[in-house]
Structure 1
C-alpha cells in the first residue's frame, strides 16, 4: 500500500501540495515523498536539510520502518561500527516518536554518534502507528518485542536499553523487569511512591499558607482524577520485587526525577525508602532536578539531560563510534 509521508523541516511552515501530489516548501524544493513499503524502509534524511538549518553534519544514518502490527519508527545508526547494546525510545504520553520538543530526535543522534543504534517508534494508537488491537499490558510487551527485533535485525544489536518519560518510563519498567534482553532502563519521572517523609516535606510548607490549605480542602470535596488514573504502576511490593530482580541480573537503571513529579517525589532519599535496598545498589543511578520541567521545556535543560544520558551510557555500556 502506497503512503505519502511529508518530511517537515524544523522552522519551515506547512508544505503545499503541487499538482502531481508532491509537496513543496516556500523555496519550491520538493520535501514530500510518495512512499511504498520498500521506500519507507529506505528513507533517509536529506543532508541539505541540516545544512540549511546551520547544524553540524549528521554522524548517523536514519531510516523509517513499518514493522510489527502497524507500527512505524525511525532507526538511527552509527556511520561506523555499532555497539551490541541498542536503545529503544518509548512514547512519552501522547507525543509522537520525535518526543517532547524533538528530544528523542536529538537523543537518538547523540547516542548514534557514540556508537549506539537507536529506535524511536510510535506505539499503537499514537503518531503514525495503527490503533491497538489488544489490552495495554499485552500491547506493551508485544510492541516492545517487535521494536527490539527490528533493531537487532537492522543494527546487529543483542541487548537493549529502554528509555521513556512518564508513561514511557512505566512501560520501560514493566518490560525491563520481565525480559532478560533488557540491559538497562532510563526512567524519566518514572515509578516512585509517596512515603511518610514525602508527606512531611510536602505538607509542612503548605500548612503555613492558608490559601493553599483552603484550596486543598476544596479539592478534596471535588475530587477529580488522581495520579493512579494516569499512570500504570505496579503495587509497591511488586515494584520493589521487580527492581530487585533487575538488579540481581545486573541490569543498569538511571532514574531522573524533575519538578514535574512534585506530587509524588520530592527528595533523593525517597527512592530507597519506597523501592527498597535495591534502589541503593551500584546498578542504580539517580538524578533529582527539582527546577526542571516535566517535558524539559527549556533547551538548556534538554542539553543537560542529553549530556547525562550520554555519560551514563558510556559509563555503563562503553562507546564504539566517534565522539
Structure 2
C-alpha cells in the first residue's frame, strides 16, 4: 500500500484518514481500516497472517476485505505477527506468543475505534491461530476460519478411497508419497487434538460466539463433505451459531478475482447477519 506517512511518537500515521498504520505490542505493525466518525461499530475484525504472507493477504485479499468491511461500518486491523512482514522478530519464543500478540492487536484496535468485542479471521495457519485464541478469550465474539480445522472421519475415507480403487496408478502414487518422508499437511498446521477441538468449539458456542467455516479444494486432503464438520466436531458444529461453506472448486489462496469477490461478499453478509448494522 503506497501511503504518505507522518511519524508521531510510537505510531506511524498515514495522511489518508481512511487507513492508519500503527505500531503496537513488541514491534508489531499493522493497518487499521477506519469507519466514519459518526458510526458506532459493534465489533472489530482482526485479520491474521496466512502462513508467511504479509498483512496484505494472498493476492491482496486482506486489503480488499478490510476496505469492504470498513465501508459497512466495521473497523478492521490487518497486522503482521512477529517475524513476518513489517513486524520485528520476537525477542523470545514463548508458548503464549500467539495469545499475547492477538491481545495487543485487540487492545490497539479498541483504543483507536472504541470496540470491545472482536471477530478473528484467518486462512490456513491464520485460522488455526484464530481458533486457539477464540476458545480462550471471551472478548472474541466470532471467528472466520478459512480452510481451518477439521478431522478425517469414516465417511471422509470412504469418499476419498473408494473412487481411487478404480485407478491403481493413483493408489501407487499415494503409497509412494506416504513412504517418501516428505512433509505432510499436518507438519504445517496447528490443530489441537480432536477431543480438545470438540471441547473448544463447545465452549465458544456456549458463550454464543459465532463461527463461519469456509472450506476450499485446498482442504481436500482432510475435508471433502459438508456433513463431515458435525461428524468430526460434534453437535456444537451443527448449532445455529455455526455457518459453513464448502467450495471445492476454489483454490486455497483464492487466486481468481471472481472467487475472492465471492468470499468477501460472503464474509460481509455473514458479519451483517450475525452482528447487525453499525449504529449511528
TM-score for both structures, normalised by structure 2: 0.95
Native 8 Å contact 1:247 1:283 kept in 2 = yes
Q: Which sections of structure 2, spanning at least 5 residues, go unmatched?
A: none
Match of 1:195 in 2: 153
Alpha-carbon distance between aligned partners in 2 of 1:41 and 1:153, rounded to the nearest angstrom? 15
1:215 counterpart (173, 186, 195) = 173
Matched residue of 1:192: which SS? coil
Q: Which sections of structure 1, spanning at least 5 residues, go unmatched?
A: 1-6, 9-30, 46-59
Alpha-carbon distance between aligned partners in 2 of 1:321 and 1:65, rounded to the nearest angstrom? 25
1:142 counterpart (100, 103, 111) = 100
Structure 1, residues 219-260: CA drift from partner, whole Å, max 9, x if none? Answer: 222131122210001100000000000000000000000000
1:67 counterpart (20, 24, 32) = 24
How far did residue 32 of structure 1 move? 6.2
Native 8 Å contact 2:31 2:79 kept in 1 = yes
2:60 counterpart (65, 79, 102) = 102
Native 8 Å contact 2:123 2:145 kept in 1 = yes
Cα 1:189/1:65, change in 2 over 3 Å: same
Native 8 Å contact 1:254 1:284 kept in 2 = yes
Q: How does 1:227-238 map to 2 (within 5 A)?
A: 227-238=185-196
Match of 1:42 in 2: 13
Native 8 Å contact 1:163 1:187 kept in 2 = yes
Alpha-carbon distance between aligned partners in 2 of 1:228 and 1:137, rounded to the nearest angstrom? 19
RMSD: 1.7
Matched residue of 2:107: which SS? helix
Native 8 Å contact 1:112 1:321 kept in 2 = no
Q: Which runs of 4+ in 1 moved over 6 A?
A: none
Larger Rg belongs to: 1
Alpha-carbon distance between aligned partners in 2 of 1:77 and 1:103, rounded to the nearest angstrom? 17
How far did residue 133 of structure 1 move? 3.0
Structure 1, residues 137-187: CA drift from partner, whole Å, max 9, x if none? Answer: 411100000000000000001100000000000000000000000000000
Matched residue of 1:74: which SS? strand
Alpha-carbon distance between aligned partners in 1 of 2:195 and 2:147, rounded to the nearest angstrom? 19
Match of 1:317 in 2: 275
Cα 1:38/1:184, change in 2 over 3 Å: same
Native 8 Å contact 1:37 1:66 kept in 2 = no
TM-score for both structures, normalised by structure 1: 0.83
Cα 1:43/1:238, change in 2 over 3 Å: same
Alpha-carbon distance between aligned partners in 1 of 2:123 and 2:212, rounded to the nearest angstrom? 12
Q: Which of 1 and 2 has higher RCO (CA within 8 Å, sep 6+)?
A: 2
Matched residue of 1:78: which SS? coil
How far did residue 40 of structure 1 move? 4.8
Match of 1:261 in 2: 219
How far did residue 211 of structure 1 move? 1.4
Alpha-carbon distance between aligned partners in 2 of 1:271 and 1:62, rounded to the nearest angstrom? 37
Native 8 Å contact 1:257 1:287 kept in 2 = yes
Native 8 Å contact 1:206 1:212 kept in 2 = yes
Native 8 Å contact 1:88 1:120 kept in 2 = yes
